[in-house]
Structure 1
C-alpha cells in the first residue's frame, strides 16, 4: 500500500464530493458539499488558511490531512479524514505522520494540536499512533446539529521523539 500526500487539484472534486457523502464527514464539512461546484469550493477554500494535502493510496484519493490556524508562535491545528472504505488500514496514521514530518521539517512549526470528539476512539487511536499526546478534555466544546460534544485535545512538539508504531 503506497500512501502519499500531494496538493489538492481541481480535478479531485469528484473524489471530494464522494467523500462528503459519508454521514460523519458530511456533518463536519464547513458547508454542504452537494455538487461538484461545492467540492471545488472546498478545495479552493484551503487557499490562504492552511496547508491541506490529498491523501492518496496507490494513486487514488482516499482522504485529507491539513494543518491550519498557524499562529505567530509556530503552532498549528491538525485535521485528518479518510473515506470509510479505507478506514482501519493505518492510512490516516501514515498520512498524519507524513504531515507532521512536513510541518516540523519544511514549514518550521514547533507545536501541532488536534482535537476529537470523546466518542470517537478511532480518531484518538490515529492521534496517539501519530505521536500526539493527550492534554485534556474540553467540555462541551463543539456543537453539531444542536448537540454539544466534549473534545479531547492532543499535541505534539517538534522535540517529541519520532513514533514508529
Structure 2
C-alpha cells in the first residue's frame, strides 16, 4: 500500500535563518530595522505610556531586561520563530515597534503585532509600517496569510488594520487577559493575492 505524501511546506525552512534580518523601507522616510541595544531607552519608555500599557500586558521594567528581549528577538530570527523591527524615522529616531510572530512555515501563516509612541500617532506611521511589513512577508517571503488581533476596545488598532488591508473576520470572545480583565478580540487577516 502506498501512502500519500504530506503537502510540502509553503515556505522552505532556512529561508530566513540563512540571511540577516532585513531593513525594510517604508514610505514617508520611515525605516524598519532590527532592534539595537542603544534602542533600550525609547523601548522602555514606550511601556510607560498609558495607551501602550492598556493593550500590552507583558512589559519590561529595566533597560537590562529590554536588552535581554532584544537578544531573544535576534534568536527568534535565527530560529525562524519571528522577526522584530524598530519603526524608525530614517533609521534613527524610534517611533514604534512591529513584529511578525508565530511563524508557521508549513501552512504559510504568521501573526503581526505593533505599537507606536505617542508622538507618532495619528500620522499614519503604524499603517505604513504594517503595509510595508505585509508586502515583504507576503510577496518576498511567501506567507499566504497574516493575522492580527486587538482588543475590541481599541478602535485605533482596528483602523490601522483595516487601512492596511486586513479584513475583519470576527470576534474572539474573552480571548485575552488585560490589566482590567478579559477582553474580546477582533481577528483581522490579510491573504496573499486577495
Asked if these proteins are the same fold (TM beyond 0.5), I'd say: yes
Which residue of structure 1 lines up, in the alignment, with residue 103 of structure 2? 70
Tell me how far apart the structure 1 counterparts of residues 51 and 70 of structure 2 sit (CA, whole Å).
Answer: 19
CA contact (8 A) 1:26 1:33 kept: no
| Structure 2 match to 1:50 | 82
Deviation at residue 63 of structure 1 after TM alignment: 0.5
Q: Secondary structure at the match of 1:143?
A: strand
Q: Does 1:153 align with 2:187?
A: yes
Mapped partners of 2:83, 2:139: distance in 1: 14
Query: Where does structure 1 differ by over 3 angstroms across 4 or more consecutive aligned residues?
Result: none
Give CA-to-partner distance per residue, 1:95-140, whole Å, 9 cap, x none.
0001001111232211000001111110000000000000001111
- The answer on whether the counterparts of 2:57 and 2:178 sit within 8 Å (CA) in structure 1 is no
Distance across 2 between alignment mates of 1:136 and 1:120? 15
Matched, 1:119 2:119: no
Displacement of 1:146: 5.4
CA RMSD of aligned residues (A): 1.4
Partner SS for 1:34: coil
Q: Trace 1:37-116 onto structure 2 (pairs within 5 A).
A: 37-46=64-73, 47-48=75-76, 49-58=81-90, 59-71=92-104, 72-116=106-150
Give SS of 1:152's match: strand
- Structure 2: gaps spanning 5 or more residues: 1-27
Residue 45 of structure 1 and its aligned partner are, at CA, apart by 2.4
Partner SS state of residue 39, structure 1: helix
Shift of 1:23: 2.5
Q: Which runs of 5+ in 1 are unaligned?
A: 161-165
TM-score (norm 1): 0.90
- What is the Cα deviation at residue 149 of structure 1? 0.3
Tell me what 2:178 maps to. 144
